[in-house]
Homo-oligomer: A and B are copies of this chain.
């Protein structure tokens, strides 16, 4: 048994298969992938990595399994899946996950190939575990897959607590002790025991509060937009392949961006936080419906159109259209009066949260500070935005909130 000191869970005991997995390169690689990608440009303390998060998820999975009375090889498989659940992440985690998926067809939780070969496969097999079954758990399949990836999975319990600890933003402070303790299996569904509607709500509220302040902070989004544009060019104009990109870590990608002429500008700007500014920041009601559904190629075309109309370098316009908001956790299940109910059917609050998510949605157009206003005007016209609900350029006097510029 190894014992590892963790800033969130204090001591984490690593046993058996997990101990051997820990020494494999795919797991150690996660030391070099930051948990929150570009969010560190907003919250300087947020340098925690997928490695320590994976240990935390492993730790909570162990406790949940023991609480649920699940033992033996079945438990061993879940613990392995918990430790391995993020090995599929490319550099900068979710920041370029869509991009990697577009080029490789794989999301971060599709890890069959990564677990099925090399050191990880060897360790799993030595411990009598089938790599495919572990990969299925990572994808959230089967009854026990819910523990690893589902509405009440230990993944979000760890990341909320950990992100709060490292950003300093208190909203993610959840009672993970209680959450783990109250898990039950009822007819194959993972649920929270009687008396825990509130416990389930608190998990959802934590994420809802962390969302705009941390995960979708506009500065993190600007940097993410620039990173995506730079990475697209890297694939287009150098010999970096999508598969190689997928297996890079944060530093590999940043060094690659900086080493190639075509992308060095992005690399420099991201390294030294010399970021574009918001030229447009628009609420959902201001945005034509088909724009929200636009695909990658269409977005690229629109960026070029805006650049042309504003008469700026096409590399200097980033259009950022987030997906429609959804909160998976709203369908988490709780026992109420002896029956399993979905949280969204039970909780007035959760219904409201779904609406609130739409209120917080914003479309962004980003550009260097010196062309910000020109790009803003062009973007409003090209995209057909309703100016009444749109913030054009963030430098208008009086609009600026205290924390806004830096954070």
Closest Cβ–Cβ distance, residue A1 to chain B (whole Å): 8
Query: Is there contact, CB below 8 Å, between A175 and B169?
Result: yes
Query: Is there contact, CB below 8 Å, between B196 and A7?
Result: no
Query: Is there contact, CB below 8 Å, between A352 and B359?
Result: no
Query: Is there contact, CB below 8 Å, between B407 and A194?
Result: no
The CA of A165 and the CA of B48, in the complex, are separated in Å by 12
Q: Decide yes or no whether A5 CB sits under 8 A from chain B.
A: yes
The CA of A405 and the CA of B13, in the complex, are separated in Å by 13
Could you mark each residue 214-233 of chain A with 1 if its beta carbon is under 8 Å from any beta carbon of chain B, else 0? 00000000000000000000
CB contact under 8 A between A181 and B45, given known A175-B171, A198-B209: no
Which of A4, A23, A25, A404 has the most chain B CB within a 10 Å cutoff? A4
Q: Decide yes or no whether A68 CB sits under 8 A from chain B.
A: no
The CA of A35 and the CA of B108, in the complex, are separated in Å by 30
Residues of B within 8 A of A43 (CB): 5, 7
Could you mark each residue 1-35 of chain A with 1 if its beta carbon is under 8 Å from any beta carbon of chain B, else 0? 11111111011001000000001110011011000
Task: State the copy count for this chain.
Answer: 4
The CA of A228 and the CA of B173, in the complex, are separated in Å by 35
Q: Decide yes or no whether A255 CB sits under 8 A from chain B.
A: yes
Closest Cβ–Cβ distance, residue A311 to chain B (whole Å): 27
Q: Decide yes or no whether A66 CB sits under 8 A from chain B.
A: no
Query: Is there contact, CB below 8 Å, between B167 and A7?
Result: yes
The CA of A198 and the CA of B124, in the complex, are separated in Å by 38
The CA of A51 and the CA of B46, in the complex, are separated in Å by 11
Residues of B within 8 A of A359 (CB): 347-348
Q: Decide yes or no whether A49 CB sits under 8 A from chain B.
A: yes
Closest Cβ–Cβ distance, residue A220 to chain B (whole Å): 13
Within 8 A of B (CB), among A338-369: 338, 347-349, 351-353, 355-356, 359
Q: Decide yes or no whether A254 CB sits under 8 A from chain B.
A: yes
Query: Is there contact, CB below 8 Å, between B23 and A274?
Result: yes
Given contacts A195-B402, A251-B254, 18 further A-B contacts (CB under 8 A): A1-B402, A8-B168, A10-B168, A11-B177, A28-B274, A29-B272, A32-B271, A44-B55, A47-B47, A47-B49, A171-B175, A178-B403, A181-B402, A195-B403, A198-B209, A347-B356, A349-B356, A351-B352
A-B contact pairs, 20 of them (CB 8 A): A2-B406, A3-B181, A3-B402, A4-B406, A5-B167, A5-B168, A5-B403, A7-B43, A7-B166, A28-B271, A29-B272, A31-B271, A44-B55, A47-B48, A47-B52, A170-B173, A170-B175, A182-B402, A251-B255, A348-B355
